[in-house]
């Protein structure tokens, strides 16, 4: 094969693959601007003939999309902030502070990573019910305030902090918490950014647990509300595409803006250590 | 504050959350699976009885459980190799020295990973619509009769598998890409001097060196695919003819539709056991592969 032909082949395949990958998302966007019924014709229209915002208006004014958008934002932001604080403290301690039983404790946590969350779901529901947290924001936030994967991610990164730096601060008389805030956190900034994007996206996209614990329509997140909308409005393709745009666009934009951090976190988390 | 005390203060909040809201419920789940916890027990715990392994025995006699297991295994056995194959193919293309605009292609191919599964399932339902879907339209153009993708028990699971591949291949692609970049360039240099073709370089250098990554990706993807839930929930509601009921979908209905928490916990633990066994098998087989 000549180099020119090989190059055409590689790039042609890449273009084809990318087209197939992006097509569903681009078409979702296009159909969301079509008037009701326009997408249920043959041949399937690629572009809206008379673009309209009617579907979005319908969703936001009549269906209560604002509420669900706010719920999703609030829950994802709260979970991200809380778990970032708790996981960072714990991950740093597991990496740099010595205490009896540290390694055994950490190994236990890592071992527990293999347990799928569903095993805990039924008892967790009963526990939250006892605490009065079922059907409240707390039902989603409280169990997610810390996570083993987050602790692991921070620990991996924190191990690269030189001990001399911490010792020097201790000799200067700084307390452990002072050292954490003014020396450690600034050094951990890259992994904190990764963890923040990861957590936010995971929480935003989560479906099964919010479906179980938030049954009140006013408390539902976008994915849960979208799922029940799509069961009611089986024929309203245009409106459902608009709903999908509202659900997907925020995370897609966030990912594009913070892509570097997301990919770094993904790679850090997937390297065995 | 002395150091160990400070250390405990740092780990305490996270350990408390993980302990109370994850580890404790996991242990309780084991216990719950040995009881007849149902809607009456939900009203008053005094209605709870210890039943030993009755839930497990009954599950193994329930045809729908076996169907759910078979559907899930179908999804895993077909879906995982195809997903990993797609990831590897895309990674090899992106890694090629001939590829242009790499950052753009990488971002575009990764985009589905960060999208919301429910929204994507809604899109997929429209793309694969029997009458107005673009897929059937395209098939019609090349003379293939329309397929009732989500309404035909033979096609519903393949459609879900296609969705899973599209949604997930970017994730492993990025991991493969990082491993490919870690392979020393002089290995290929030497092979080229010996006149080895691209294909032979891939088979004899690239794939063997990707071995450990392949194993890790295989384990993680398999474990993830066993937890199929949102796709059938949104696209097919387990139908048609229960052909897309997955183990987790079955657990969800048993637990949160009928409130049989005892039986649902048994299903969850059976699923965990299955994932654990398959993981062990994969690790074991790959070890035998390396040192026969």
Q: What percent of chain A has pLDDT over 90?
A: 81
| pLDDT tens per residue, range B95-147 | 998 999 999 999 999 999 999 999 999 999 999 999 889 999 999 999 999 99
**A-contacting residues of B 162-221, CB under 8 Å?**
166, 170-171, 174-175, 178, 198, 216, 220
- CATH architecture type of domain A58-270: Orthogonal Bundle (1.10)
Q: Which residues share a beta bridge with B35?
A: B50
Look up residue A44 and give its DSSP letter. P
- pLDDT grade for B290, boundaries at 50, 70 and 90: low
Q: Tally the C-alpha atoms within 13 A of residue B227's C-alpha that lie toward its C-beta.
A: 18
Of A11, A18, A175, the CB nearest to B108: A18
3-state secondary structure of B100: coil
Domains and CATH numbers, chain B: 61-290 (1.10.3720.10)
Asked if B255 contacts B55 with a C-beta cutoff of 8 angstroms, the reply is no
CB nearest B29 (choices: A44, A90, A119) = A119
- The reply to whether residue B15 touches residue A116, judged by beta carbons under 8 angstroms, is no
- What pLDDT shows up at residue A272? 43
Inter-helix orientation angle A3-32/B102-114, to 10°: 40
* CB contact B234 to A (< 8 Å): yes
Dihedral sign for Cα atoms in the order B231, B237, B240, B246: positive
Indicate the residue of B10, B29, B233 with minimum beta-carbon distance to A93: B10
* Contact residues, chain B, for A230 at CB < 8 Å: 122, 125, 234
Which pLDDT score is estimated for B168?
97
Tell me the average pLDDT across B167-190: 93
The answer, yes or no, to whether residue B263 has pLDDT greater than 60, is yes
Amino acid B125: pLDDT: 92
Q: Looking at residues A129-152, what average pLDDT do you find?
A: 96
- Specify the residue for token string 């020396």: A183
Which is nearest to B233 in space by CA: B263, B269, B258, B257? B257
Write down the residue that tokens 């295994």 correspond to: B73
Encode pLDDT of B186-211 as tens digits. Answer: 888 888 888 888 888 888 899 999 98
Cα maximum dimension of chain B: 78
Please name the residues between 9 and 68 in chain B that touch chain A, using a CB distance below 8 Å: 9-11, 13-18, 20-26, 28-30, 32, 37, 42
- The residue among A7, A122, A207, A239 with the most chain B CBs within 10 A of its CB, best to mutate, is A122
Please give the Cα distance from A35 to A55 (Å, whole number): 7
Best mutation target among A65, A123, A239 (most B Cβ atoms within 10 Å) is: A123
H helix runs in chain B, sequence order:
3-18, 24-32, 39-43, 54-60, 63-95, 102-114, 117-127, 134-141, 156-181, 185-193, 198-201, 207-209, 211-226, 230-235, 247-252, 261-290
CA distance B292 to chain A (A): 24
What is the SS3 assignment for B194?
Answer: coil
CB pairs under 8 A between A and B: 277
Nearest to B255 among A24, A122, A247 (CB): A122
Which range is least confidently modeled, A209-213, B172-176, B236-240, B272-276?
B236-240
Q: Do B25 and A127 touch (CB under 8 A)?
A: yes
pLDDT in tens, B242-257: 999 999 999 999 999 9
A210 min Cα distance to partner chain B (Å): 12
- As for the ipTM of the complex, it is 0.93
**Are residues A208 and B229, on separate chains, in Cβ contact within 8 Å?**
yes
| pLDDT confidence of residue B289 | 67
Taking 60 as the threshold, does the pLDDT of residue B273 lie above it? yes
Chain A CB contacts of B276 under 8 Å are: 114
CA B276 centroid distance within chain = 14
User: CB of A91 within 8 A of CB of A150?
Assistant: yes
Cβ B4–A99 below 8 Å, yes or no? Answer: yes
Q: What is the pLDDT of residue A271?
A: 58
Contacts with B90 from chain A: Cβ below 8 Å: 17
């Amino acid at each position: 094969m000549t180099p020119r032909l090989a190059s055409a082949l590689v790039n042609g395949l890449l273009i084809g693959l990318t087209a197939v990958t992006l097509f569903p998302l681009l078409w979702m966007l296009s159909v969301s601007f079509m008037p009701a019924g326009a997408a249920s014709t043959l041949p399937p229209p690629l572009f809206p003939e008379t673009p309209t915002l009617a579907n979005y208006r319908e969703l936001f004014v009549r269906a209560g999309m604002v509420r669900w958008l706010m719920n999703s934002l609030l829950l994802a932001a709260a979970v991200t902030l809380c778990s970032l604080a708790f996981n960072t403290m714990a991950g740093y301690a597991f990496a740099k502070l010595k205490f009896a039983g540290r390694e055994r404790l950490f190994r236990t946590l890592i071992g527990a990573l293999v347990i799928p969350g569903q095993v805990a779901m039924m008892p967790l529901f009963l526990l939250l019910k006892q605490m009065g947290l079922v059907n409240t924001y707390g039902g989603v936030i409280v169990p997610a305030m810390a996570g083993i994967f987050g602790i692991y991610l921070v620990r991996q990164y924190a191990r690269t902090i030189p001990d001399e730096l911490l010792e020097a601060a201790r000799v200067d008389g700084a307390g452990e918490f002072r050292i954490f805030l003014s020396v450690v956190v600034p050094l951990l900034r890259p992994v904190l950014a990764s963890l923040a994007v990861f957590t936010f996206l995971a929480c935003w996209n989560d479906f099964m647990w919010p479906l179980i614990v938030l049954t009140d329509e006013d408390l539902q997140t976008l994915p849960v509300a979208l799922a029940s909308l799509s069961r009611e409005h089986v024929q309203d393709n245009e409106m459902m595409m608009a709903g999908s745009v509202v659900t997907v666009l925020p995370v897609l934009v966030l990912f594009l803006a913070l892509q570097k951090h997301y990919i770094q976190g993904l790679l850090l988390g997937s390297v065995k250590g | 504050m002395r150091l160990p005390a400070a250390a405990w203060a740092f780990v305490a909040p996270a350990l408390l959350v993980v302990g109370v809201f994850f580890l404790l419920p996991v242990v309780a789940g084991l216990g719950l699976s040995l009881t007849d916890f149902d809607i009456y027990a939900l009203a008053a715990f005094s209605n709870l009885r210890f039943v030993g392994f009755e839930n497990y025995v009954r599950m193994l006699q329930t045809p729908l459980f076996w169907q759910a297991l078979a559907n899930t295994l179908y999804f895993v056995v077909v879906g995982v190799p195809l997903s990993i194959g797609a990831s590897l193919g895309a990674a090899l293309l992106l890694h090629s020295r001939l590829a242009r605009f790499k950052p753009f292609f990488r971002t575009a191919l990764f985009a589905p990973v960060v999208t919301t599964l429910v929204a994507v399932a809604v899109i997929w339902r429209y793309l694969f619509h029997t009458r107005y879907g673009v897929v059937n339209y395209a098939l019609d153009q090349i003379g293939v009769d329309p397929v009732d993708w989500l309404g035909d028990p033979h096609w519903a699971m393949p459609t879900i598998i296609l969705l899973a591949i599209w949604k997930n291949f970017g994730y492993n692609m990025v991991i493969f890409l990082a491993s490919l970049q870690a392979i020393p360039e002089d290995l290929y240099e030497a092979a080229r001097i010996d006149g080895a073709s691209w294909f032979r370089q891939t088979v004899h250098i690239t794939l063997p060196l990707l071995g450990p990554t392949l194993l890790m990706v295989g384990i993680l993807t398999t474990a993830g695919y066993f937890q199929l839930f949102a796709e059938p929930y949104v696209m097919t509601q387990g139908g048609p003819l229960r052909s897309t009921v997955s183990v987790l979908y079955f657990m969800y209905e048993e637990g949160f539709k009928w409130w049989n928490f005892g039986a649902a916990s048994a299903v969850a633990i059976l699923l965990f056991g299955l994932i654990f066994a398959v993981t062990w098998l994969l690790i074991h087989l790959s070890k035998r592969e390396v040192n026969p």
